[in-house]
Amino acid sequence: MRRLGGRNTLERLARFGYGARGFVYCVVGGLAVLAALGAGGRAGDSRGALRTVFGGPFGPVLVGAIALGLAGFAVWRAVEAVTDADRRGTAPKGLAVRAAHLVSAGIYGGLALTAASLSLGLGMSGGDGMRDWSAWVMARPFGRWLLALIGAAIVGGGFGFLWKAARGDVTERLLLGDTQARWANPIGRFGYAARGIAFLIIGGFLIVAAWYQRSSEVKGLAEAFALLRRQEYGAWLLGLVAAGHVAFGAFGLIQARYRHIDAPDIDEADEAAARAIRDLT
């Protein structure tokens, strides 16, 4: 496919997707900050953020645009994982990152469908997605252990985020000058730290659910915020982690503009995927 303005279709989808994801987390964090301040906000998750945007000016149009962006991000994550567009390689660490990107593709693809349904006036399903799938997992043979393994993987991802916040190079894939990197770096570190804390709590919920074999123990970001709020100095803890989610969203907007994206052309993606599969075998 011919490049337009030096960018192909997949790259445009990826940048739109980073922007949409960033906007959603800015809303998630902003609402939680208001809740911590007692200013009328509600500490919720991405679905709650979509409802808030939907209820505002031009809500259906904005949520529809978010749906398109999240769908693009899901496509990019899948392509990124299968074709190894970021050159992660086939070492254990690289394969783990690529596997996480595949999981991310599924999560954001589902959120895109939720946003599209809301934008079209179909509303959101009444069930709890995390509890529904965890109940399905536990109903399978060895499902309890599989759920515990998923929870442990999420906890591991949380520690990975925290390590990246403390010691990693969060701007390594951003095409930034020294001055730009100086202000983007602390935003990214703060955002990754907040996501790491959230992952630790959510993964812990999954492990507890597996231990007690009760899907009702499975909880998401909204409940993670609520747990922080119930601790001593809870308003401060919630405010700090909420502000970190705003930073994570802002960093997503920075990624939308400055991230290096080596996306294959659509008509070359199947060839790139075939090469990656051959490398794995």
Q: Provide, for the chain, the percentages of residues in helix, strand and coil under a 3-state DSSP scheme, each rounded to the nearest 5.
A: 75, 0, 25
Please tell me the pTM assigned to this model: 0.85
Q: Read off the pLDDT of each residue in 256-281 and give the average, rounded to a whole number.
A: 67
Give the number of other Cβ atoms within 10 Å of residue 186's Cβ: 12
E strand map for 137-270:
none
Q: What pLDDT score does 91 carry?
A: 85
CA distances from 172 to 11, 184, 209, 245 (A): 18, 11, 37, 20
pLDDT tens profile 79-134: 989 988 888 888 888 888 889 899 899 989 989 999 999 998 877 654 556 667 77
pLDDT over threshold 60, residue 269 = no
CA 244 to centroid of chain Cα atoms: 14
Q: What pLDDT score does 6 carry?
A: 44
pLDDT-wise least confident of 14-28, 190-204, 219-233, 267-281? 267-281
pLDDT tens profile 23-58: 999 999 999 999 888 876 677 788 888 989 998 899
pLDDT band at 275 (very low <50, low <70, confident <90, very high): low
pLDDT tens profile 131-185: 677 777 888 888 889 989 999 999 999 999 999 999 989 998 999 988 889 999 9
What is the sign of the dihedral through the CA atoms of 84, 78, 97 and 184? Answer: positive
What ranges do the domains of the chain cover? 9-275
144 within 8 A of 210, measured Cβ to Cβ: yes
Amino acid at 6: G
Put residue 102 in one of left, alpha, beta given phi > 0 → left and psi -120 to 50 → alpha: alpha
pLDDT over threshold 80, residue 4 = no
